[in-house]
Amino acid sequence: MSSIVTFIGWHDSGKTTLAAGVVTELKKRGYRVAVIKSSNDSGIRFDTPGTDTFMHRQAGADSVLLVAPDQMVLQTGNSNLSLRTLAHRYFADVDIVIGEGFKTAKKTAKIEVCRNIDQHLRQEVHGVIAVATNLESVAGDYVFRLDEAREIAAFIEKRFLLHKGEWTEVTSLLVNGSKIPIKTYIQEALAGTVHGFIKTLKLNEDIKEIELRIKISKK
């Protein structure tokens, strides 16, 4: 687990300047550094010149997370993770993740938006399940107009969400960032084993969800 050191003090006491300086020095020493910035203010602009988060990024922080009453914003470097890995790593608690782009994403449903008949992707990429266009020449089972956002949402709901509650995935397994499909009985066995071990720790809280990350050391 990462070590944690936080800088505290009154507003305008110089916390950001000092912390950013420390970030720079740690980066010079070859460390990967993330910054979590807490604020009681709302409506903060993230990562623009003059802001604290911008200063931390300029100092060389690998990742910056802003936690404020009205928002939580994460900026981090691009690790070339797939869309599926990004969704499972950062948005595991939502019902659906809507992407924009990622046309080459594997095992991912795609809705193509097309305005020019000479610029279409559905014959070049895998996973196109519908098309949104105003072109009369485009035909198919699931073709929507560009102003039919409601209809497209209903299509997505019917296809991916309405029956989702009938069975809930209890265990997710990611290996080197990629999600590995595992059978239902294995999910239940893994969940039961880990849950049983955690209960022996006699934590003074109701266990609703457990996250476990394992790093394999090189011998």
Closest CA to 131 of 104, 113, 116, 153: 113
Tell me, what amino acid is at 107?
K
Same domain, 100 and 52: no
Q: Does 2 reside within a domain?
A: no
Same domain, 90 and 149: yes
Q: What is the mean pLDDT of residues 88-93?
A: 79
Same domain, 88 and 142: yes
Q: Which residues contact 27 (CB under 8 A, 6 or more apart)?
A: 33, 59, 60, 61
Q: Does 10 reside within a domain?
A: no
The per-residue pLDDT for 173 is 82
Same domain, 119 and 65: no
Q: Where are the alpha helices (DSSP H) in 38-165?
A: 52-59, 83-90, 149-156
Residue 1 predicted with pLDDT over 90: no
Q: Does 5 reside within a domain?
A: no
Q: Which of 124, 145, 165 marks a domain boundary?
A: 165
Is the model more confident about 163 or about 5? 5
Distance CA 130, CA 143 (A): 6
Q: Does 6 reside within a domain?
A: no
Q: Does 4 reside within a domain?
A: no
pLDDT in tens, 172-204: 888 877 778 889 889 899 999 999 988 888 888
Residue 50 predicted with pLDDT over 60: yes
Closest CA to 145 of 157, 131, 127: 131
Q: Which letter does DSSP use for residue 205 in this model?
A: S
On whether the CB atoms of residues 50 and 23 are closer than 8 A, the answer is no
Same domain, 90 and 68: no
Q: What is the mean pLDDT of residues 51-71?
A: 93
The torsion angles phi and psi of 146, rounded to 5 degrees, stand at: -65, -20
- Kindly list the distances between the CA atom of residue 112 and the CA atoms of 46, 88, 102, in Å, as whole numbers in the listed order: 31, 23, 11
Residue 165 predicted with pLDDT over 70: no
Q: Which of 165, 182, 204 marks a domain boundary?
A: 165
Q: What is the mean pLDDT of residues 54-71?
A: 93
Indicate if the alpha-carbon torsion angle 17, 66, 103, 85 is positive or negative: positive
Q: Does 24 reside within a domain?
A: yes
Q: Which of 36, 60, 76 marks a domain boundary?
A: 76
The per-residue pLDDT for 20 is 93
Same domain, 62 and 87: no
Of the pLDDT bands very low, low, confident and very high (cuts 50, 70, 90), residue 79 is confident
Same domain, 199 and 127: no
Same domain, 195 and 161: no
Residue 12 predicted with pLDDT over 90: no
pLDDT in tens, 20-29: 999 999 999 9
Same domain, 98 and 146: yes
The per-residue pLDDT for 219 is 67
Distance CA 4, CA 125 (A): 44
The per-residue pLDDT for 189 is 92
On whether the CB atoms of residues 142 and 130 are closer than 8 A, the answer is yes
pLDDT in tens, 94-144: 888 999 888 888 888 999 888 887 777 777 888 889 999 888 888 888 999
Please state, rounded to an integer, the average pLDDT across all residues of the chain: 86
Distance CA 45, CA 54 (A): 10
Closest CA to 56 of 48, 43, 9: 48
Which H or E element spans position 68? strand 63-68
Q: How many domains does the structure of the chain reveal?
A: 3
Q: Which letter does DSSP use for residue 46 in this model?
A: P
Identify the domain containing residue 150 by its residue range.
83-165
Same domain, 98 and 151: yes
Residue 166 predicted with pLDDT over 60: no
Sheet holding 128-133, edge to edge: 110-114, 128-133, 143-144
On whether the CB atoms of residues 33 and 65 are closer than 8 A, the answer is no
Q: Does 219 reside within a domain?
A: yes
Is the model more confident about 135 or about 1? 135
Of the pLDDT bands very low, low, confident and very high (cuts 50, 70, 90), residue 150 is very high
Closest CA to 62 of 92, 101, 35: 35
Same domain, 150 and 108: yes
Same domain, 46 and 99: no
pLDDT in tens, 27-48: 999 998 999 998 888 998 888 9
